[in-house]
Amino acid sequence: MAGAWQDEVFETLRRAAIRQIAYVPDAGHARLIERAHADPDMRAVVLTTEEEGVALAAGAWLGGQRAALLMQSSGVGNCVNMLSLPMSCRMPLLMLVTMRGEWGEFNPWQVPMGNATPGVLERTGVLVRRVERAEDAAETVAGAATLAFDSTVPVAVLLSQRLIGAKVWVR
């Protein structure tokens, strides 16, 4: 059933007491974004650039709430400098990253950052978890949320392109 794993991930975020969802519009996160906007207990905040989401998550934490940042792998490069904030201040950060530049990619511009994303995150101190199969998505996000918020560390869950589905170029 299309959207089933995304709905499970959304419910996982609700159970983890996520109250703010920061995102740059992305088709891979469309279902989560739609659900966040429809949920009266959540605030969905559209960003102009991904690093704003790191600051939003820090502000949410300081204000007593939990946030999650949704982005595409191409946006990870925009966050490199801002990732020093949760590292230096020992704040949690939960990121869900839809991958590009992998299986079935049509756009060569997506390949370099898609390939670099796990290493870039790890080198900035972010713990990285990866999801390849729909049946592992909710459990991986739940574990990442627990790790991020209970240990006050940044954690990224990479949602593989095979999981989210390759985008198709329409001529």
Q: Where are the domains of the chain?
A: 4-164
Q: How distant, in Å, are the alpha carbons of 102, 105, 150, 159 from that of 133?
A: 15, 18, 26, 9
pLDDT of residue 116: 87
Q: What is the pLDDT of residues 108-155, one digit of tens each?
A: 787 778 888 999 999 999 999 999 999 999 999 999 999 999 999 999
Residue 171 pLDDT level (bands cut at 50, 70, 90): low
pTM flag (> 0.85): yes
Quick one: which H or E segment has residue 87?
helix 84-89
Fold observed for domain 4-164 = Rossmann fold (3.40.50)
pLDDT over 70, % of the chain:
96
Is 136 buried (19+), middle (13-18) or exposed (0-12) by CB count in 10 A?
Answer: middle
Average pLDDT over residues 74-78: 93
Per-residue pLDDT, 104:
77
Given a cut of 50, whether residue 1 has pLDDT beyond it is no
In sequence order, what are the residues at sequence separation of 6 or more whose Cβ sits closer than 8 angstroms to the Cβ of residue 3? 31
Q: How far apart are CA 11 and CA 47, in angstroms?
A: 23
DSSP character for 80?
T
In angstroms, rounded to a whole number, what is the distance separating the alpha carbons of residues 158 and 152? Answer: 19
Mean pLDDT of the region 76-102: 93
Name the residue among 124, 115, 125 with its Cα closest to residue 158.
115
Q: What local confidence, expressed as pLDDT, does residue 103 receive?
A: 81
pLDDT given for residue 156 in this prediction: 98
